[in-house]
Amino acid sequence: MLRKGSEGGQSDKFYRMHRGDVQFTTGGTGIAHSEQNEHQGDTVHFLQIWAIPWKRGLTPRYHTRHFDEEEKRKGFVPILSPLKGGPDASSEQERAAEPTIPETIPIHADLVMGAGLIPPQVRFEWTVGAKATEATKRKVYIHLPMTKQGKAKIRLDGREDVLNEGDGAFIDGVNAGDKLSVESVGEAEAEVVVLDTA
């Protein structure tokens, strides 16, 4: 998939996205952005997730990073975490764009995103808040995206309900530091996305 964007009056840039790539965009004071599937006969599966930033008028930016699939098969890998400095970040902290969790993409919100590839009959554990926030009360959304196979299924915290591909579950009333388990109970590897916010 090709994504094209321009920020702050700079010329258009193309970026070819591959499996495992995450591109984060801060629209801020204005961007031009488009995306297209460059393969005529292949379907592209991707998630576009929107988050409300903690303040307006941010400088438009793009952050693109690849996250290794083998690491995601060992446990949940943090993808996004809040910008160090929080809502009161200095202009120097804004320029440095350092996330609270190293090796993640910084976001202007109290949001942590993680992803995992859970083999069948294996259980991964997510630590609520991912030690990236001081906000105690949290909400977590767990999503099992659609794939070509359609054979992945997950169960949360040993509950009886099973989530199929395309399903998600919203978990409210959890606190930073709580543990949530996600078990792969289908015939295929489960690709799971976790969104964790205040």
Residue 33, both tokens: 């952005």
Closest by Cα among 196, 25, 26 to 113:
196
**pLDDT, tens digit, for every residue of 81-114?**
999 999 999 989 988 999 999 999 999 999 999 9
Question: Considering all CA atoms of the chain, what is the largest pairwise distance in Å, rounded to the nearest integer?
Answer: 53
Question: Which has the minimum average pLDDT: 5-9, 31-35, 147-151, 164-168?
Answer: 5-9
For 175-193, write each residue's pLDDT tens digit: 999 999 999 999 999 999 9
The mean pLDDT of the chain is 87
Average pLDDT over residues 107-128: 96
Question: Would you say residue 9 has pLDDT above 80?
Answer: no
In whole angstroms, give the CA distance from residue 114 to residue 116: 7
Distances (CA, A) of 57 to 26, 28, 29, 192: 10, 5, 5, 32
User: What pLDDT score was predicted for residue 184?
Assistant: 97
The answer to whether residue 8 scores a pLDDT higher than 50 is no
Give me the long-range contacts of 168-173 (CB less than 8 A, separation at least 24): 168/141, 168/142, 168/143, 168/144, 169/141, 169/142, 170/139, 170/140, 170/141, 171/139, 171/140, 171/141, 171/142, 172/139, 173/137
pLDDT band for position 5 (cuts 50, 70, 90): low
Q: Decide: 2 and 38 in contact? Cβ < 8 Å.
A: yes
Q: What is the mean pLDDT of residues 168-172?
A: 95
The residue written with tokens 């915290």 in the block is: 157
The fourth-level CATH superfamily of domain 2-197 is: Jelly Rolls (2.60.120.10)
Q: Which whole number is the average pLDDT over 53-81?
A: 91
